């Protein structure tokens, strides 16, 4: 699966310039423990709660 497909599917992602509080809020809102970090439609890593 390409990162662009994740973005289009509505799956939450974070960008390098997003705050930690935003990532935590997204994790709570979507009830997930991990979020992919992306930049320019490229997967960079994964953040965990």
- Its domain, for residue 19, covers 3-48
Could you give the number of structural domains in the chain? 1
Question: For 4-23, what is each residue's pLDDT tens digit?
Answer: 766 666 788 999 999 999 99
How many Å separate Cα 46 from the centre of its chain? Answer: 8
CA distance 35 to 49: 9
Looking at residue 7, its pLDDT comes to: 64
The closest alpha carbon to 3, from 31, 39, 32, belongs to: 39
Looking at residue 41, its pLDDT comes to: 81
pTM of the model: 0.77
Q: Which residue has the tokens 């390409």?
A: 2
CATH number of residue 7's parent domain: 3.10.580.10
């Amino acid at each position: 699966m390409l990162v662009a497909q994740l973005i289009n599917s509505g799956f939450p992602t974070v960008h390098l310039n997003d705050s930690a509080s935003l990532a935590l809020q997204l994790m709570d809102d979507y009830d997930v423990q991990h979020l992919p970090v992306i930049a320019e439609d490229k997967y960079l890593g994964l953040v965990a709660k």
